A and B are shown apart, each in its own frame.
Chain A
Amino acid sequence: MIAEAVLKPGGDAATALYIVAFSLFILGVKRGTHPTTAKQGNLVAAVGMAVAVVTTLLLDGVGNWGLIALGLGIGTAVGVIASVRVKMTEMPQMVALYNGVGGGAVALIAWSEIRHGISLGETIPLDTLIPVLFAAVVGSVSFWGSNIAFAKLQDLIPTRPLAVPGQQVINVVLLIGILVACTDIAINNDDPSQAIFIAVLLAAGLLGNLVVLPIGGADMPVVISLLNAFTGLSAAAAGFALDNVALIVAGTLVGSSGTILTMEMATAMNRSVANVLFAGFGGAPAGGGGGSTEERPHVSIGAQDAAIKLAYADSVVIVPGYGLAVAQAQHAIKEVGDELEKRGVTVNYAIHPVAGRMPGHMNVLLAEADVPYEQLKEMEEINPEMPRTDVAVIVGANDVTNPAAKNDPDSPIAGMPIIEVDQAQQVIVIKRSLSPGFAGIDNDLFYEANTSMLFDDAKKAAADIAAEIQNL
């Protein structure tokens, strides 16, 4: 089809084009770190990807066009349809899923590479074999771990920490088993056993499941980010095995930038990555909060009362959470904010770094509703203002406002920074029920004397409040 135009793998022309591609990746990521250039940065990286793909299709030795067309066709169709259909609230699990298939691709390529090596009947050099083994293990962990993360975020399996007894021991045994098996393959690199390799893939998959299952839903963003970095590293390893410079640079770039992102996310939650991975949200105490507390006294109000409290306040802080995202209440909340501003009330939005299910989740939703950027305050910025705030309105947020994080050293979320709504003069909580949030623990805030609960769907409640304010 393009017999004349082939590029030699590792030749100057192919390498030059790959250099163009990864330069565009680096520029794209750089631009992705600033709000004004981020969208353009994503396009720049996508162009880089197009260059890399086309270059590879032109490589000498690349063939089996029917299969390539089939794979590209299916993958593109699934990617386009899924991305267009996904709701903004479901973005986090979509990222997890895409990360998972990337890891799966790495593991499959490693498998294919080792089968190819075995079929040639020659000794596989260690500088190919070791990266292949690394790619297989990490890719498989990432694939299965990401799928579990997806299932948790999609509520297909319980979001609370699930732990098997002796979990840590099993993980360590699995890891040792994987290392031993990989060593065996490396030692016998003149005729490695494919059966052992498949066992390694399966064991790594099991490890991916077991590592992510005990992690509570609230920590999932950190886990996805970490798995993202892992997949990047495994892609780089595949690059070592295939002598492909584009894979090495792009994979490493994702691995290292992903590591930094993971640490920044963990810092925002005042947790270390090790803590997230090995402690979960401490399975045991999390179970206690659910049932027994249903009877505690709380104040329940309607939309009209809430409207009055808000309309006659001087300053109002709106604290959005996952409930806002689920109810698609961002436009309705914006309208409440607009009505209040017409009456001269100062309105700000307090954004907890991990409100919703991903950092930045709330900003995205509120920006969609045209909430001015200046009104979105980060946690550090808004907390000192809280004692001077008349009414804090919590819309579908829970754990990120739970004072137990500050007051109760035994709480599973102890030490997590929170939006200090308990410092505000009054608190209105818009929530469907008293049920606990993502961390699976009760929130004392709901039972405080100055807290009023408005039990309703966030969108309906906000629309009702806006209407009531207009009627005042």
Chain B
Amino acid sequence: MSLMTEITIFVLAAFVGFEVISKVPTTLHTPLMSQTNAIHGIVMLGGLIVVGYANDPLEYVIGTIAIAFGAINIVGGFMVTDRMLGMFSKKPKPKAEAADGKGGGGK
């Protein structure tokens, strides 16, 4: 891919990012930050690629750590976002906890 093609992609992607995000309700700032955070975990792809042509022990170590870091970023990022957003989904929960406030205890 030529450098200019890459720069074209870069500029267009930048504008897509600007457009997609405009006017987000405050409520969704944190989940959305967390979701985009998970998406940049895509750097793990770089780790997969470089470890493929690694050829000395240090490069093996660096590459493996990079993959592990990237995987934490991806898996953790999407799961945490899902947990945050799960709070918004309607749950058909009966009033199960109505009783526990009565006595007032701590935890």
The distance from the CB of A461 to the nearest CB of chain B, in whole angstroms, is 9
Residues of A near B29 (CB, < 8 A) are 221, 225, 261, 264-265, 358-360
Closest to A236 in B: B10
The answer to whether B35 and A42 touch across the interface, beta carbons within 8 angstroms, is yes
Interface size of A in residues (CB-CB distance below 8 Å): 128
- Assuming the contacts A38-B88, A64-B54, asked whether A254 and B40 have C-beta atoms less than 8 A apart, the reply is yes
In the complex the two chains form, what is the Cα distance from A351 to B78 in whole Å? 26
The answer to whether A83 and B71 touch across the interface, beta carbons within 8 angstroms, is no
Residue in B28, B98, B103 whose CB lies within 8 Å of A33 = B28
In the complex the two chains form, what is the Cα distance from A271 to B45 in whole Å? 36
CB interface residues, A 249-307, toward B, < 8 Å: 249-261, 264-265, 268
The answer to whether A98 and B54 touch across the interface, beta carbons within 8 angstroms, is no
The answer to whether B32 and A29 touch across the interface, beta carbons within 8 angstroms, is yes
Please classify the interface of chain B as helix (H, G, I), strand (E, B), loop, or mixed, using the class held by over half of its residues: helix
Residue in A9, A79, A328 whose CB lies within 8 Å of B75 = A79
Residue in B75, B86, B93 whose CB lies within 8 Å of A76 = B75
In the complex the two chains form, what is the Cα distance from A328 to B41 in whole Å? 31
In the complex the two chains form, what is the Cα distance from A367 to B78 in whole Å? 20
A467 at the interface (CB under 8 A from B): yes
| A81-121 interface bits toward B, Cβ cutoff 8 Å, 1 = contact, 0 = none | 01110101001101101110110111011011101100100
A71 at the interface (CB under 8 A from B): yes
| A49-87 interface bits toward B, Cβ cutoff 8 Å, 1 = contact, 0 = none | 100110011010111100110111011101110111010
In the complex the two chains form, what is the Cα distance from A95 to B34 in whole Å? 6
Residues of A near B14 (CB, < 8 A) are 252, 255-256
Interface range for B? 35 or more
The answer to whether B17 and A75 touch across the interface, beta carbons within 8 angstroms, is no
Residues of A near B35 (CB, < 8 A) are 28-29, 32, 41-42, 45
State the 8 A-B residue pairs at the shortest beta-carbon distance, nearest first: A75-B71, A71-B67, A256-B17, A79-B75, A79-B76, A83-B79, A359-B29, A252-B13
- Which chain B residues have a beta carbon within 8 Å of chain A's beta carbons? 1, 3, 6, 9-10, 13-18, 20-56, 58-60, 62-89, 91, 93, 97-98, 100-107
- Which chain A residues have a beta carbon within 8 Å of chain B's beta carbons? 9-10, 22, 25-26, 28-30, 32-35, 38-39, 41-43, 45-46, 49, 52-53, 56-57, 59, 61-64, 67-68, 70-72, 74-76, 78-80, 82-84, 86, 88, 91-92, 94-95, 97-99, 101-102, 104-106, 108-109, 111-113, 115-116, 119, 127, 221, 224-225, 228, 231-232, 234-236, 238-240, 242-261, 264-265, 268, 328, 331-332, 335, 351, 353, 358-361, 363-365, 367-368, 370, 376, 378, 457, 459-460, 462-464, 466-467, 470
